Structure 1
Amino acid sequence: MALIQTSLIWVAYVVAVAILLVIAAVFVFVYQTPRDRAASVTIVSIFTTSALLATVLLLPVDVALVSSTSLSSEGRKKDWATPDRVHGITHTLTIVYYTLYSLDAVLCLLVVPFTYFWYEEYDDDAAEQGEQTAGQRLWGAFKYTIAFIIFVVIIFLVGFFVPFAKQFKGDNRLDLDYFKHLLQENHGERALSFALGLLMTIGTLIYILYTGAGLALLPVALVKSAPSVSAPTLAASTASQLEQNRERQRQLEGRNEGREGGLDSRDRRELESLVREERTLIRRERLAAESSGEDRHALVKAWIKVEAAFRPLKLLGGIVLMVLAVIIFVSMLITGIDKAKNSVCKAHCGYILGKIHIVQPLNWIFVISSKVFPVDYVLFLLLTLFFFCASVVGIATIGIRFLWITIFKIRKGHTSPQALLLTTVLLTLIVLAINYSVAMLVAPQYATYGPQTFCDRSPKHPGEQPDCSDDHKAIKPCSELSDNPVAKDVCTPSVVSTFINRVTINFPFFGVILFWAQFAFLGVYLIVFVTTLFRTPKLDQEQIDQDLEEEEEEGLLASTGRRFGATWQDITGRARKNNYGATATNGESS
């Protein structure tokens, strides 16, 4: 029975990873530009995005596996959950975590930079003339990647030799076995913990800006978006206007054939106006074609049609996400206050809480739902995707910047390969920060012990488990501060919570930065949320419209507005017959 339950949990994880692979592929194909696509960039971006999402989604599997060893209703271990079996489960999880964290670090610090330089080294002219070989391109990319290799080596050397928190070994606040277990002597594990802590800290600084803003922008953008014209209708009306424009130009040119001096001043002004209008209409036609998914990958076309079909649900979805974002804000704020006030040793151990003193909504929901797997898994998947999508929206809105200088813009169908790779690196670092926030602030009790409980009684006979069947009030939730010897045998902390707490207690400076940065994250969210309530954010397609308008000598495109309405034409790809946007034939702009 135990083997079947464990196998089902891992099967659910494999299914979730397969779903994440599809989501990562959709993300990459939707955002990358179809005119400048490279197979190496596409593969690396999809694989890296899938790996980082698989890492954070291992948490509910971790919780489900350690929780499966106990009977929460009775506060005791199951009969089959011997110390060796429990150690086998946690050891397997530890190996998977180490593998995924190491993979994320290698992809972020080595593979993605190498792919970036590999793409940059390609020279069309030299390749066509046979002057650039694969070996030359490989050496050119490797030459620039050496700096990143040196950086990785330095990180692990510093983590290997840096002093850890020995001075706190004598702290009576850390006398519990849980905290003693976190203080490491193994240099190899400490090196990996230091590297993870450093990357998590860097990712948290990025997480504050992009995810904090995106968490507020995403729901408000869905609520405030009110497109009115479908892409097929826009394409049909633009084609009609363009045909009338060119017909009028032919009439003017035919009228003045053979006339001495050419066109008179009036006809010349009208013809010049028609030529400017023609350029604008051609750009508008191209924009409508891109919006409809023409000349794009089949996956992008399918995504556009699905997006159009679900567009009427935008308002409802935006309201639901807005409520969820507010609940996340409140939950994180409550836990943050609880940690700041009731932490076991405050900054000395990175504000490890030890025991929840203030109940908050999300943690309570996850603990209750974790009693019936995979309900908590589905909820956690949705929560993770919400954070991920918020991060993408934040990056797309703000762009990749250095201080006030925009280096790359991230837009649907217009993201260059270099920008896509840099976005992948940012998302990798952000997901490490999300892993900390979810485990330590959003749902700390769930992420540490799940629904595990213990019987707060002494056993009747030595070697036996205590019995709380006649008094359920004696059943207490597991916590790090449980001093009952029974709790030590019954409560098994999740591997991810142990790993994160190990980082913060061995390197307290990381814990201090990670903890107080959460309040900065909440501050950014609150500022952006209040701002967007009164000002519509400019996202993706609106930015494309703005770029096109800036290219024009006159504002013909300004009348187009948002044109991706939730219409049947968007789904079928057919435009209805109407007189929308008819162009005047007197040469005036519509």
Structure 2
Amino acid sequence: MALIQTSLIWVAYAVAVALLIVISAVFVFVYQAPRERAVSVTIVSIFTTSALLATVLLLPVDVALVSSTSISSQGRKKDWATPDHVDSIVYTLKIVYYFLYSLDALLCLLVVPFTYFWYEEYDEDAAEHGGQTFGARLWGAFKYTIAFILFVVIIFLVGFFVPYAKQARGDNDTKYLDYFKHLFAQNRGERALSFALGLLMLIGTVIYVLYTGAGLALLPVALVKSAPSVSAPTLAANTASQLEQNRERQRQLEGRNEGREDGLDSRDRRELEALVREERTLIRRERLAAESSGEDRHFLVKAWIKVEAFFRPLKLVGGFLLIILALFIFVSMLITGIDKAKNSICKAHCGYILGKINIFQPMNWVFVKSSKVFPIDYVLFLLLVLFLFCSSVVGIATIGIRFLWVTLFKIRKGHTSPQALLLSTVLMTLIVLAINYSVAMMIAPQYATYGPQTFCDRKPRHPDEQPNCSHHKSAIRPCSELSDQKWAKEVCTPSVASTFINRVTINFPFFGVVLFWAQFAFLGVYLVVFLTTLFRTPKLDQEQLDRDLEEEEEEGLLAATGRRFRAGWQDVTGHGAKNNYGSTETNGERS
């Protein structure tokens, strides 16, 4: 029975990984520029994105496996869950975690940079004339990657020799160290890995605060705004009318110029120049409406446009639901942050590790309750991770890849260069490490540490047997790191992921302090962007508008919702809206 349950959990993880590969491929192909695709860049980007998502999605598998060894309703271990069997499960999870964390670090620090320089070294003219050999290109990419190899070596050497913090060594004899002794690195190899992981997590958290904090507020708005307030037929008819009026006005101004030696006066000349610029915009908008309605396109493309328009109202509903989910996450993280700041047993000395939940936390409660029936919690966790991942993508696409105030690359659907795609992959790798900390330590700390595991808070009849709460349900307590009873430590098995993260924070408290307080910065960025976006849609520059052939709307998120639903229906039927005068109407204006 135990083997079957364990196998099913790993099968669910394998299915999730297969799904992640598909999601990663879609992400890469949607954003990369078709004309600049390179096989090496595409493969590395897809593989790296899949690996980093597989790392964070191992957490519910971790929780399910360690929780499968106990009977939560009775607060005791199952008969087959001997210490050796439990150690075997934990050891297997450790191997998988070490492999995935090492793979993520290798991809982020070595493989992706090498691929970047490999692409940069390609000389099309030299390759066509046989002037560039494979060896020359390989050496050109490798010599730039040497700097990253040295960086990796330095990280591990520092982690290998860096001394523990005074509190971590136990020099102050604090009582909390009695339980956390198992978190101290047992050898220098674990110490080096913990240091490298903590450093990458720290860098990732800075990026996470900026990009994911903004993207968490922008993603729901993006779904709502993706449903235009004007349907394609209405836009086409209205644009044609405006274009005709524009050209008629130009003819009138040009007619005034006939017979004049000095030409148009300055006022008419400025008006004519403005009309010419407006004409170009209207022509582009007319082409956009034609493309949106599927004119002169393949039957399948037209059918897809109709289907997309039919389901467009779901984007509106989904957008508002995601706003509620984002606020739910915000409240949960804020509650955990306050709980940690107030009730952490060792505060900054161990990175604000929280021994037990002291304040009711809604997101944590949902995951703990759902984890009693696998794979419900796995599905919920997958949706949560994908939401945070997509928020990060939206944040990167909105802000762009910057160095201080200088924009290096822009991330746009169908227009992202290979260099920008690789750099965004590195950013996503670092962000996912930060997401791993945020989910495990802030969003659902109890779930990520013990899941639904419980212990019986009653003394056993004999010292050699476990206590029995089958007839005393009120004596069943959730597992926590501060349980004093001897049998609680034997029944409660912490997840491997929480052990890794707590090991980083307790061995190197500086990382833990920065990671913890950065969560409040994340909440602050989210709140500012959300309140700004709620009432005012961020402006795009005019070049972006012309490139995407879209008209910016100066209105808040809560405006024009009804028109968006009507526009979706008009795109399905293929007819524009008519007012009482029989003309098309948009944005409250009659043409």
Q: TM-score, normalised by structure 2?
A: 0.84
Q: Does 2:449 align with 1:448?
A: yes
- Paired position in structure 2 for 1:75: 75
- Paired position in structure 2 for 1:107: 107
Q: By how many angstroms is 1:459 displaced?
A: 2.0
Q: Does 2:123 align with 1:123?
A: yes
- What are the equivalent positions in structure 2 for 1:222-371 lying under 5 Å apart? 222-229=223-230, 283-284=284-285, 308-371=309-372
Distance 1:564 1:39 in 2: 40
SS at the partner of 2:345?
A: coil
Q: Does 2:53 align with 1:53?
A: yes
Q: By how many angstroms is 1:551 displaced?
A: 11
1:231-255, Cα deviation, whole Å (9 max, x unpaired): 6887899899999999xxxxxxxxx
State whether residues 176 and 481 of structure 1, in contact with CA within 8 Å, keep that contact through their aligned partners in structure 2: no
Q: By how many angstroms is 1:480 displaced?
A: 0.5
SS at the partner of 1:476?
A: strand
SS at the partner of 1:401?
A: strand
Q: Does 2:510 align with 1:509?
A: yes
> Structure 1 pair 367/432, CA: closer, same or farther in 2 (3 Å)?
same
Q: By how many angstroms is 1:581 displaced?
A: 9.3
- Paired position in structure 2 for 1:88: 88
> Structure 1 pair 160/360, CA: closer, same or farther in 2 (3 Å)?
same
Distance 2:55 2:303 in 1: 28
Distance 1:397 1:430 in 2: 16
Distance 1:156 1:429 in 2: 17
State whether residues 179 and 481 of structure 2, in contact with CA within 8 Å, keep that contact through their aligned partners in structure 1: yes
Distance 1:292 1:132 in 2: 47
- Paired position in structure 2 for 1:406: 407
- Paired position in structure 2 for 1:98: 98
Distance 1:500 1:295 in 2: 56
Q: By how many angstroms is 1:305 displaced?
A: 7.4
- Paired position in structure 1 for 2:492: 491
Distance 1:331 1:509 in 2: 24
Moved more, 374-383 or 26-35: 26-35
Q: By how many angstroms is 1:20 displaced?
A: 1.3
Moved more, 281-290 or 90-99: 281-290
Distance 1:291 1:132 in 2: 44
Q: By how many angstroms is 1:100 displaced?
A: 0.7
State whether residues 215 and 394 of structure 2, in contact with CA within 8 Å, keep that contact through their aligned partners in structure 1: yes
> Structure 1 pair 164/289, CA: closer, same or farther in 2 (3 Å)?
farther
Q: Does 2:528 align with 1:527?
A: yes
Distance 1:558 1:336 in 2: 38
Q: By how many angstroms is 1:84 displaced?
A: 0.8
Residue identity opposite 2:327 in structure 1: V
Q: By how many angstroms is 1:114 displaced?
A: 1.0
Distance 1:355 1:469 in 2: 24
Distance 1:442 1:207 in 2: 15
> Structure 1 pair 431/456, CA: closer, same or farther in 2 (3 Å)?
same
1:52-92, Cα deviation, whole Å (9 max, x unpaired): 11111111110000000000000000000011110111111
Moved more, 364-373 or 402-411: 402-411
1:156-214, Cα deviation, whole Å (9 max, x unpaired): 11111111235434344455654000111311111111000000000000111111111
Distance 1:71 1:244 in 2: 76
Identity of aligned residues (%): 80
Distance 1:136 1:569 in 2: 58
> Structure 1 pair 239/19, CA: closer, same or farther in 2 (3 Å)?
farther
- Paired position in structure 2 for 1:181: 182
1:395-443, Cα deviation, whole Å (9 max, x unpaired): 1111111111111111111111111111111111111001001100100
SS at the partner of 2:413?
A: coil
> Structure 1 pair 182/117, CA: closer, same or farther in 2 (3 Å)?
same
Distance 1:322 1:577 in 2: 30
- Paired position in structure 1 for 2:204: 203
Q: Does 2:427 align with 1:430?
A: no
Q: By how many angstroms is 1:35 displaced?
A: 2.0
SS at the partner of 2:365?
A: helix
1:297-334, Cα deviation, whole Å (9 max, x unpaired): xx999997775443211221122111111111111111
- Paired position in structure 1 for 2:256: none
> Structure 1 pair 302/17, CA: closer, same or farther in 2 (3 Å)?
farther
SS at the partner of 2:477?
A: strand
> Structure 1 pair 509/272, CA: closer, same or farther in 2 (3 Å)?
closer
> Structure 1 pair 111/531, CA: closer, same or farther in 2 (3 Å)?
same
Residue identity opposite 1:403 in structure 2: L
Q: Does 2:416 align with 1:419?
A: no
1:244-293, Cα deviation, whole Å (9 max, x unpaired): 999xxxxxxxxxxxxxxxxxx99xx9x99999788657755775687689
Residue identity opposite 1:439 in structure 2: A
> Structure 1 pair 467/426, CA: closer, same or farther in 2 (3 Å)?
same
State whether residues 71 and 453 of structure 2, in contact with CA within 8 Å, keep that contact through their aligned partners in structure 1: yes
Work out the number of aligned pairs and report it: 566
> Structure 1 pair 295/190, CA: closer, same or farther in 2 (3 Å)?
farther
Q: By how many angstroms is 1:451 displaced?
A: 0.5
- Paired position in structure 2 for 1:219: 220
Residue identity opposite 1:431 in structure 2: V
Distance 1:117 1:301 in 2: 41
- Paired position in structure 1 for 2:459: 458
State whether residues 215 and 391 of structure 1, in contact with CA within 8 Å, keep that contact through their aligned partners in structure 2: yes
SS at the partner of 2:402?
A: strand
> Structure 1 pair 295/465, CA: closer, same or farther in 2 (3 Å)?
farther
Residue identity opposite 1:155 in structure 2: I
Q: TM-score, normalised by structure 1?
A: 0.85
Residue identity opposite 1:411 in structure 2: R
- What are the equivalent positions in structure 2 for 1:521-560 lying under 5 Å apart? 521-538=522-539, 543=540, 546-549=543-546
> Structure 1 pair 337/67, CA: closer, same or farther in 2 (3 Å)?
same
State whether residues 212 and 388 of structure 2, in contact with CA within 8 Å, keep that contact through their aligned partners in structure 1: yes
- Paired position in structure 2 for 1:135: 135
What are the ranges of 5 or more consecutive residues in structure 2 without an aligned counterpart?
248-262, 586-590
Q: By how many angstroms is 1:462 displaced?
A: 3.2
State whether residues 231 and 576 of structure 2, in contact with CA within 8 Å, keep that contact through their aligned partners in structure 1: no
Residue identity opposite 2:446 in structure 1: Q
- Paired position in structure 2 for 1:252: none
State whether residues 227 and 315 of structure 2, in contact with CA within 8 Å, keep that contact through their aligned partners in structure 1: no
- Paired position in structure 1 for 2:260: none
- Paired position in structure 2 for 1:155: 155
Q: By how many angstroms is 1:446 displaced?
A: 0.4
SS at the partner of 2:415?
A: coil
Distance 2:295 2:420 in 1: 23
Distance 2:302 2:421 in 1: 20
> Structure 1 pair 458/24, CA: closer, same or farther in 2 (3 Å)?
same
Distance 2:421 2:229 in 1: 30
Distance 1:293 1:439 in 2: 46
Distance 1:48 1:290 in 2: 34
Distance 1:550 1:138 in 2: 37
Distance 1:303 1:184 in 2: 56
Distance 2:290 2:87 in 1: 58
- Paired position in structure 2 for 1:479: 480
